[in-house]
Structure formats: C-alpha cells, structure tokens
Structure 1
Amino acid sequence: MTAAPTGQRLDPVPGEWRRVSPKYLVVDLVSTLIGGAIATAATALPATLFGWGVWWWLLPAAVALVSLVGLALTPRRVRSIGYRLRDDDLLFRRGIMFQRFVAVPFGRMQLVDITRGPIVRALGLAELKLVTAAASSGVVIPGLPLAEAEELRDHLVALAETRRAGL
C-alpha cells in the first residue's frame, strides 16, 4: 500500500459525490443560532436569578463563544455532507473533524422516509431518512431539494425490493 503525497486528502471512495442544497446552510445556521441562544440563556439564568457574582458570567460567555465558533464552522460543515450511489449501496458522509462514512446496502433498507420541518419546507427542501435493522447504520440526508428527495426515495425503494437480503 502506498502513502498519499503530503497535503492531499485521502478519500475512502473516490468518485462523484452529490452534495446537499446550498439552501440547507440557512436551516443549519438558524438551528445553530437558536440552540446557542437557548444554551447561553439557560446558563445565564441562575446567575441572574440568584444574583451570583461576576465570575458566574464566565460560563454563559464561554457558551456564547462556543456557539459563535459553531456558527463560523457551519458553512464548512454543510459542505462536508454528501452521498453517492454505488452498485450495491448508498454511501453517506458528513463531518469535518469527526468524519462519518456509512455504507447502506440496498438489500438491507427497511424504510426510506421523507421528513420536512417548517423551515426546511419553506425553502423547498426535505430530509431523506434510511432505516436498516442495525440502529447504528441509520442515515439521514438533510437539505435535499424536494423533487430530488422524492426521486431518490423511489429509486432506493425499487432497488431495495430487487435486492432483499434474507428478509
């Protein structure tokens, strides 16, 4: 096995990856912002209610700082999400520091579901959820345009029906 030249990224499966819609960045930014605001408020509440000293305000400040870093990393995190259809499975990837690569065999899929929350629906997007018997291999592909999600769902269901493995 040869090592990759220095500075090049090792990709476990070379080829064309399909990425989520750029509109999904808005959804992720809004959810990160709301989560950070709630966490900051929750950590500031005891210091406010009980009149604790100035030192207690360091905790909400730290939570706010972590939330701001999360907001700054959101565009890169969204760009890291992708999927790829191969001959026998769907390969999904996500993450910057803690990367996750999951291969879901077509014959093991039990459920392919489309979910749409209010913000996602307003942007014309959807989430595609793939469920298998193994709990750890469940995959959610967020930020797909609705038409692409429906087409992919129908395609995956058809492939799963032709390749049932021991069910």
Structure 2
Amino acid sequence: METGSPHSAGTAQAEPEWIGLPPGLLRMRRLLLVVWLGLLTLATGLLPGLLAGPAWAAFALLPLALTGWGWVMLGRNWRSWRYAERADDLLISKGVLWHEETVVPYGRMQLVEVTSGPVERYFGLASVQLHTAAAASDATIPGLHPDEAERLRDRLTELGEARSAGL
C-alpha cells in the first residue's frame, strides 16, 4: 500500500524559469532621467537665481530630489520585470506596487514584432510586442538585446502558428 497524498504525484507544476531584463535598459532609463531632470534642475536653479535672487535658486532642490527618488524607483521597476516561456504560453511579470502578471497563450498571438527606437538602438536594445485577438491583452517585453528579441519573436511566431493550426 502506498503512503502519501494521492494528489502529490504529477500534479505539482514546476516553477517557470524566469528571465530578467538586461541591465542596459536600466542604464538607458537612468541616463534619460539624469539628462531631463538635470536640465530641469539647472533651469529651476539658474533662472530664478539670476532673475529674483540667490534664495530663489533653492527651487532647484525639488528636481534634484526627484532625480534621487526616480533613480531608486527605476531600479525597483527594472528588477520587477521578467518573463518565462512555458509549454503553452508566455508569462510576463512586472510591477512593484501593483504587481501584474500577464499570460499570453501561444495560440492567441496574432502578431509578434520587434521594435527599436533611436535611443534604444544607441544602447543596443529592442522590445518585443505581442498582439493578440483581444486588444486589451497586448503585451510588451522592453529592453532586450536585439538577438534575444529576434530569437523570442521567431520562437513565439513558430509556437503561435503551431497552436493556431490545431484550432
């Protein structure tokens, strides 16, 4: 006679192998933060300081504080992004305060595209965008290396065609 739970054999699903985003995305976002808020810091410190007096230059502390806060938040947000390829679907997980996990079945994918704007190309990054039958369930994986983005696009397209052929 066997001992143990009848539900313990074969019912436990293995935890998916999660893949995080490359650090290049974090570097790009932090550089953009420093550039834009750095310019804002200069503008809010220089203009009031020159026009109204040195005490008014203290307004530059606000964008400077926002830069520090944004630096930390960008790191937390970057660490929260991950994706996992499973047998029948793709999982995308993101979010720190509001955690969001998206499950995209391969058979529901209609279009998988790789995009890369000028700033992303400069940093050697690309995004994979998934379009499904329901517009609300479109998903994006940002900041991948272009080779990984193309590999993922090709794999998802192949799996999507295989799953939809059986419908």
Task: Report the Cα distance in structure 2 between the residues aligned to 1:154 and 1:127, rounded to whole angstroms.
Answer: 14
Contact 1:112 1:128 in 2 (8 A): yes
- Unpaired runs of 5+ residues, structure 2, are 1-13
Q: CA deviation at 1:35?
A: 5.2
3-state SS in 2 of match to 1:163: helix
Q: 1:142-163: CA deviations, max 9, x gaps?
A: 1111111101100100111111
Q: CA deviation at 1:86?
A: 0.9
- 2:19 matched to which residue of 1? 18
Q: Could you tell me the TM-score, scaled by structure 1's length?
A: 0.72
- Unpaired runs of 5+ residues, structure 1, are 1-12
3-state SS in 2 of match to 1:142: strand
Task: Report the Cα distance in structure 2 between the residues aligned to 1:146 and 1:155, rounded to whole angstroms.
Answer: 14
Q: Which structure: larger Rg? A: 2
Task: Report the Cα distance in structure 1 between the residues aligned to 2:62 and 2:113, rounded to whole angstroms.
Answer: 38
- 1:113 matched to which residue of 2? 113
Alignment pair present for 1:159 and 2:159: yes
The structure-2 alpha-carbon separation of the partners of 1:88 and 1:63, relative to structure 1 and needing over 3 Å to count, comes to same
Task: Report the Cα distance in structure 1 between the residues aligned to 2:166 and 2:39, rounded to whole angstroms.
Answer: 46
Select the structure that is richer in helix. Answer: 2
- 2:82 matched to which residue of 1? 82
3-state SS in 2 of match to 1:83: strand
- 1:5 matched to which residue of 2? none
Task: Report the Cα distance in structure 2 between the residues aligned to 1:98 and 1:16, rounded to whole angstroms.
Answer: 22
- 2:141 matched to which residue of 1? 141
Contact 2:16 2:85 in 1 (8 A): no
- 1:126 matched to which residue of 2? 126
Q: Could you tell me the TM-score, scaled by structure 2's length?
A: 0.72
Is 86-95 or 60-69 further displaced after alignment?
A: 60-69
3-state SS in 2 of match to 1:158: helix
The structure-2 alpha-carbon separation of the partners of 1:93 and 1:39, relative to structure 1 and needing over 3 Å to count, comes to farther
Q: CA deviation at 1:130?
A: 0.6
3-state SS in 1 of match to 2:114: strand
Taking only the aligned residue pairs, the percentage that are identical comes to 39
The structure-2 alpha-carbon separation of the partners of 1:59 and 1:135, relative to structure 1 and needing over 3 Å to count, comes to farther
Letter in 1 for 2:137: S
The structure-2 alpha-carbon separation of the partners of 1:32 and 1:139, relative to structure 1 and needing over 3 Å to count, comes to farther
The structure-2 alpha-carbon separation of the partners of 1:163 and 1:123, relative to structure 1 and needing over 3 Å to count, comes to same
CA RMSD of aligned residues (A): 3.3
